[in-house]
Copies of this chain bind each other. A is one copy, B any other.
């Protein structure tokens, strides 16, 4: 029953100095030291200097976990994408990351692998980290996700596409992009066009582009056949071309779901000695540098992916800082790049 009882329970986690030790070294209270670091304008300039000196001398590293628990704010931003293998998401992440990092937010990156159940688990985990906001690629979520997101009272930003969003939304209209390219193909005189995509169940935005493409062709009284591949990438593009030639003999143009497929096909056409666009026209989507460097230059649609990430991050930050959000939805648009492949 002596007063050293609670010494026996000691369990300092590390030997790192704590804020209390810094405060003692600077001759102030812990809360003043805390303010000196986090709200510099609330402490006297000379006090702050003493605290900073103590921080430096002791090699103090703030325990952000403790700070987050106490304040119930974490400066974490959850970012959830379906894949890291696709450079499209990487560019959006880059835009998000730069902007958030500059404002002192840390991204928590989650990869669903196109699995909505995994998305739910990731969101749970990220909410457990008291993230300040969530950014997801796309508008499709399962019921559980939707409930979780609707009840969590944090800014939710859905990027990539436009539509019925939960909260904030920055993206572009993929159906319209599909229409745009289809119209271009029609203008170029292609009456027989094939749309080729890969794993469209996952890449449903490509599916939306096909829907737009189909709409335009059918309104013109033309067929809009679809060919779905098992995989993406340059290789798959070559395969797609082979299959198109075999399965759709009369075809004059191929509208690929993305530039990787399209460029793979274009390079393969060269190897086969098939003239592009005379024998076969090829179009892509994304506006990757790759497609702009091959000969003939690829006709494609460029979307401002990095800018989309930046804008999304800025809107989230605006919301977090309590500023009024003017518009919940932003259309970042797209641009048709007419090359020599159509």
Which A residues form the contact surface with B (CB < 8 A)?
Answer: 13-14, 59, 61-66, 68-69, 72, 74, 84-85, 87, 90, 93-94, 97-98, 101, 106-109, 111, 124-125, 127-130, 148, 151, 153, 233-235, 238, 263-264, 267-268, 270-271, 289-290, 292-295
Q: What number of copies of this chain does the assembly contain? A: 2
A65 near B130 with CB under 8 A, answer yes
Q: Is the CB of B97 within 8 A of A90?
A: no
Q: List 17 A-B contacts (CB under 8 A).
A: A14-B72, A14-B153, A59-B151, A61-B128, A63-B69, A63-B128, A65-B74, A65-B129, A66-B69, A85-B94, A87-B90, A97-B109, A98-B111, A106-B125, A235-B293, A264-B293, A270-B295
Contact A289 B94 (CB under 8 A): no
| Besides the known contacts A65-B69, A233-B289, 18 further A-B residue pairs in the complex with CB atoms under 8 A apart | A13-B72, A13-B130, A61-B124, A63-B128, A64-B125, A64-B128, A64-B129, A65-B128, A66-B69, A84-B94, A90-B90, A101-B111, A106-B125, A109-B109, A234-B292, A263-B293, A270-B295, A290-B290
Chain B residues, CB < 8 A from A63: 69, 128, 130
Taking a contact as CB atoms under 8 Å apart, the answer to whether B66 and A84 are in contact is: no
When chains A and B are docked, how far (Å) is the Cα of A59 from the Cα of B145?
12
